[in-house]
Amino acid sequence: MTPFVADVLIPVGKIVAVILYPMIMVVVMIWLERRVVALMQGRLGPNRVGFQGVLQPVADAVKLFFKEDIIQRQADRFLFNISPVLVMFSSLLAFCFIPLGEPLRFGTYTLTLWIAESPVGLLIVLGLSTISVFGVIFGGWASNSKYPLMGALRSVIQILSYEIPTGLTVLTVAFVARSMDLVEIVRRQESSGVWYGFLMPVSFVVFWISAVAETNRAPFDLPEAESELVAGYHTEYSGMKFAYFYMAEYAHMVLVSSLVVILFFGGWLPPFPGVTALRFLHAVPGFVWYLVKIMFFLYLYVWIRATFPRYRFDSLIRLVWKWLIPLSLANFLIVALVRYLL
């Protein structure tokens, strides 16, 4: 393999892929959500554009491209413009650290299915996804309008509160795997033969609830509760800037689902590694398993949204401070103790 291919073409290809892959997932997710929610509610949903309406998100994006981009006079133009970019950037950049599968071997060359592997990949991903909070508060503040401001305040309180149980549960995984490297965590699940979701169900449940809350999704979608705050922090946005917020939310969901799969459900590993009768499952490429698992969690997002009413803000905060944080602290202690003794 020539150095040109190895050092230039493949990295560039990966960079394109890491931008395209979340975008494609976002498009699929938007379509899936609208169709699945529609079917759960006894209606049809978008089914006209393309086969079964799969091109509907594309049509929506085209519409948003041509919309007038409104910046109201009282807005802070710099912050107003930068916040959608910040939100989008933070969720896209985190995908660099997400491993999609086992490295592929072509002769002497090994193609890794991730851009960067870092010994603290887990921390970087969590940190990056929290940067989106700046985008949200800048957006809400810069709009200089009351509903966005209230939405942004709620959002900041919510995301920061739910960071705590997330961090504590992620630490339990790091303890058990003795690594913060996302690739290494999956490898450890392979060698130990059990996925951490089954080993530590409490960690998984707490992480999942916090993850739903951090992505501002129903039933925790208070920052953009349409029946109260119109559209929350992005009320004043239109056109592509609104689309950025919208896509970033979905990209964030894909990111969080990826994290759940990697941390708790064995990433690209096929299920039941110990059962010899199910060996044939290994014939399916790891990437496919990974996608199937992600889709399951994305479906769960949609399912939850179609089922539950919205929390009120005070009970949402009560839930995290009175239940999730004590629970995750206790869980953290138990896991640490067990890990120390074994």
The site for another protein (CB under 8 A) is made up of 37, 40-43, 146, 150, 218-219, 221-222, 225-228, 230, 305-315
Question: Are the C-beta atoms of residues 163 and 124 closer than 8 Å to each other?
Answer: no
Give CA–CA dist 293/266, Å, rounded.
Answer: 9
H helix and E strand count, the chain: 14, 2
CB of 160 to another protein, least distance (A): 14
Question: Is the CB of 108 or the CB of 315 nearer to another protein?
Answer: 315
List Cα–Cα distances, 198 to 84, 102, 165, 180, 268, in angstroms. 37, 22, 19, 19, 16
Burial, 310: exposed, middle or buried (Cβ in 10 Å; 0-12, 13-18, 19+)?
middle
Give CA–CA dist 217/198, Å, rounded.
Answer: 25
Kindly give, in sequence order, each residue whose CB lies less than 8 Å from that of residue 328, ignoring residues fewer than 6 positions away: 164, 165, 168, 169, 202, 203, 206
Question: Is the CB of 108 or the CB of 227 nearer to another protein?
Answer: 227
CB of 39 to another protein, least distance (A): 11
CB of 192 to another protein, least distance (A): 36
Question: Is the CB of 69 or the CB of 226 nearer to another protein?
Answer: 226
Question: Are the C-beta atoms of residues 171 and 229 closer than 8 Å to each other?
Answer: no
CB of 267 to another protein, least distance (A): 33
Amino acid at 243: A
Give CA–CA dist 123/263, Å, rounded.
Answer: 13
CB of 130 to another protein, least distance (A): 21
CB of 223 to another protein, least distance (A): 12
Question: Is the CB of 237 or the CB of 313 nearer to another protein?
Answer: 313
3-state per-residue secondary structure call for 271-321: CCCCCHHHHHHHHCCHHHHHHHHHHHHHHHHHHHHHHCCCCCHHHHHHHHH
Question: Is the CB of 68 or the CB of 314 nearer to another protein?
Answer: 314
Residue with tokens 């009768």: 277
CB of 229 to another protein, least distance (A): 9
Structure tokens of 252? 């964030």
Question: Is the CB of 37 or the CB of 55 nearer to another protein?
Answer: 37
Question: Is the CB of 78 or the CB of 308 nearer to another protein?
Answer: 308
CB of 270 to another protein, least distance (A): 34
Question: Is the CB of 167 or the CB of 219 nearer to another protein?
Answer: 219
β-strands 109-111, 104-106 pairing: antiparallel
